[in-house]
A and B are shown apart, each in its own frame.
Chain A
Amino acid sequence: MNKIEQLFQQKKDILNIYLTAGFPKLADTVKIVLELEKAGVDMVEIGMPFSDPLADGPVIQHSSTEAIKNGIRLEMIFDQIREIRKHSQIPLILMGYLNQLMAYGEKAFLEEAAQCGVDGLIIPDLPVEIYQKQYKQMVEDLNLDMIFLISPQTETGRIKLLDAESRGFLYVVSSSSITGQKADLQQAQKSYFDRINRMNLRNPTLIGFGISDRKSYEAACRNASGAIIGSAFIRALEKEGLLKQHVHDFVKSIRS
């Protein structure tokens, strides 16, 4: 069992915060993660900035563009994670796109990720069928959790498949929207969440996309094991002032 699986056994109402590595400044990654942990966040998802992030909205794309301009590279992200691991055992997820893994060499990437202390991976453009054929054995041997996404359009049979292949948790996309667009966690959403909860999935679920404030976080907690917040946090980091203060203010605004 790795850190993500342990976390879900121990806690409810998980708060998972997304940040873009190398943003707003190249070296901020370590500081932000450690402050997030101090502020009480349960898990952190670190985005590997990509030039063409199809599954991300404009806020995260912008932060990725800035981070690339800052000079972020995969080697640096691995070093930053090593640095985090000297001080913290918070569960860490790396999020990125398959092209980045291919350029690094998939095997080398996975080994390096596991070695530096990553617990889980989210690769939104990796099809589950390709995962099964090419990567699953390697990922499981390294004790990494591969986390798959489901959306309101995902059919029951496919939800079962994605649940069967996910480890740690299943990422429930709150509405069919890209990240950063405020979701109305109401009627249609509710029946979607109820449908998932009735399925008795083997994994716990976290709701992401459009979770931006206390209200939507609490709604997510009523319908799943917790929530993932990305764009709203990135926006908070863009404000003038002390980074540390932004991190604590933001987390406080979500749950105190």
Chain B
Amino acid sequence: MNYSPDKYGFYGDFGGAFIPEMLYSNVELLRQNYVGIIESKSFQTAFKKLLQDYAGRPTPLYFARRLSEKYQTNIFLKREDLNHTGAHKINNTIGQILVAQRLGKKRIIAETGAGQHGVATATVAALMGLECIVYMGEVDMARQAPNVARMRMLGAEVRPAKSGSRTLKDATNEAIRDWINHPKDTYYLIGSVVGPHPYPDMVTRFQSVISREMKIQLLEKTGRDYPDKIIACVGGGSNAAGAFYHYLDRENVELIAVEAEGLGVDSGQTAATTQTGSKGIIHGSKTLLMQNEEGQITEPYSISAGLDYPGIGPLHAHLFKSRRGTFLGATDTEALQAAFELTRLEGIIPALESAHALAALKKIELHPGENVVINLSGRGDKDMETYLNHLDEYNNDKNGK
């Protein structure tokens, strides 16, 4: 099985670049240049140096002893939450800002859901002295207020997306419109493995540092360079793509992707794309997405702004369809439970997105002696308000035991 896109950007049936002509020259410029730029020595030197000295890589692979005891297996957490800015998103923004510089672009635009990608973009734009505009759904601006404040302090302009469900999908539409209006000087710094080719491949390459480090760290800690299972949450799917990448061809490693079920897959308030979606086109990519029979894209719902997206990246659609990946879902409640569980057992407050990956522990068969890696994609600082709203429920739970 081949997990790299063909020259048109297709992973099996999924991918491609379904874009209006007004975007063609920009996307084509990127397509023609990205591999050459990324593989150049000067790029690699700069990229690695920033990942190490600026982002703080490698991130630890932490053996979670108490969590492992509870689930009777060996659980390792890949600590992407310890990156600068608090999530894996910085791996990609460092890579893309270096690409933008090499393409001579002066103005950076981005979309953001939870605000993690927006913060990571505002951060590297500040670092490089570039103008930065971040589009964010109005609903998300309210529920992730701390990240809005961080972006503004970093000098970015945060523009509210007021159409549709006023979340990530709409922010992405606005960012694409901005790009159409500014075809010459602007670089669109996409935050996930979505959008037209070559974005899904480029972002996957930048995030693949996660599994590259995992191999080395697992070999040191377990004597094997691979785990039995890798679990990651999927909104668009960038942290999962990075955590899976170097194991895509290793069929003995089970790749588990966890989507946000929101209030439940049958509730109509969900973001579980593989369970409720079908093939279509969203943001320039042919992939699986949530839509009605008329092809109108459904407004998704999840407690987690970062997973509140009605599509998945084309690589993930391919992994789902080819059955290389196992796709599960976790509801809002299950994610909250998992977040409090990790916090109380390990002293680590995860992001709500990552909490969906943790919730999968209750849904899969686990065996003693197995090695399971959970990609802890981000930290929970931005979600404190949500967590505090539920604090009493979990304190009561604990007292009841």
Contact = CB atoms under 8 A, between A and B. Distances in A.
B291 A103 contact: yes
Contact of B297 (A52, A127, A129): A52
A225 interface: no
B24 to A, nearest CB: 7
Given A103-B280, A181-B181, A162 B21 contact: yes
Interface stretch (A150-158, A214-222, A239-247): A150-158
Given A51-B164, A103-B280, A177 B180 contact: yes
A55 B24 contact: no
A100 B295 contact: yes
Interface in A105-127: 124-127
Given A100-B294, A103-B291, A173 B22 contact: yes
B279 interface: yes
Interface string B61-89: 00000000000000000000000000000
B283 to A, nearest CB: 8
Given A153-B183, A155-B25, A61 B163 contact: yes
Contact of B25 (A55, A97, A103, A154): A154
Interface string B1-41: 00000001000000011111110111000000000000000
A98 B184 CA distance: 26
A27 interface: no
B296 A98 contact: no
Contacts of A55: 20, 22, 180
Interface string A57-82: 11001100100100001100000000
A126 B18 contact: yes
B281 A125 contact: yes
A153 B163 CA distance: 28
A103 B180 CA distance: 26
A149 interface: yes
A152 B19 CA distance: 16
B174 to A, nearest CB: 9
A97 B281 contact: yes
A38 B291 CA distance: 38
A124 B8 CA distance: 18
Given A52-B164, A178-B177, A149 B21 contact: yes
A50 B22 contact: no
A103 B183 contact: no
Interface residues of B, number: 35
A78 B281 CA distance: 22
B173 interface: yes
B19 A153 contact: no
Interface in B165-211: 169, 173, 176-177, 180-184
Given A65-B163, A150-B21, A127 B16 contact: yes
B190 to A, nearest CB: 14
A178 B19 CA distance: 13
A102 B292 CA distance: 12
B361 to A, nearest CB: 35
Contacts of A126: 18
A154 B25 CA distance: 7
Contacts of A73: 294
Of A54, A74, A101, A158, most buried by chain B (CB within 10 Å of CB) is: A54
A13 to B, nearest CB: 24
Contacts of B169: 52
B284 interface: yes
A23 interface: no
A199 interface: no
A124 B18 CA distance: 9
B23 to A, nearest CB: 8
A151 B25 CA distance: 9
Contact of A158 (B24, B281, B294, B296): B24
A99 B22 contact: no
A1 interface: no
B285 to A, nearest CB: 10
A54 B164 contact: no
Given A54-B173, A153-B25, A99 B297 contact: yes
B281 A99 contact: yes
B293 interface: yes
B20 A149 contact: yes
B303 interface: no
Nearest to A96: B295
Contacts of A57: 177
Interface string B293-320: 1111100000000000000000000000
Interface string A196-237: 000000000000000000000000000000000000000000
A242 B368 CA distance: 75
Given A52-B282, A155-B25, A98 B18 contact: yes
Nearest to B8: A129
A147 to B, nearest CB: 11
Contacts of B183: 151-153, 176
A127 B281 CA distance: 12
A130 B181 contact: no
A41 B294 CA distance: 30
A103 B177 contact: no
Interface in A151-188: 151-155, 158, 162, 173, 176-178, 181
Interface of A: 50-52, 54-55, 57-58, 61-62, 65, 68, 73-74, 97-104, 124-127, 129-130, 148-155, 158, 162, 173, 176-178, 181
9 interchain residue pairs of minimum CB distance: A103-B295, A153-B25, A55-B20, A176-B183, A100-B295, A124-B20, A51-B296, A149-B21, A99-B281
Given A55-B20, A103-B292, 11 more contacts: A54-B180, A100-B294, A125-B20, A125-B284, A130-B18, A149-B20, A151-B25, A153-B183, A154-B25, A176-B182, A178-B181
6 contacts: A51-B164, A100-B294, A102-B295, A125-B284, A127-B18, A151-B183
Interface of B: 8, 16-22, 24-26, 163-164, 169, 173, 176-177, 180-184, 279-284, 291-297
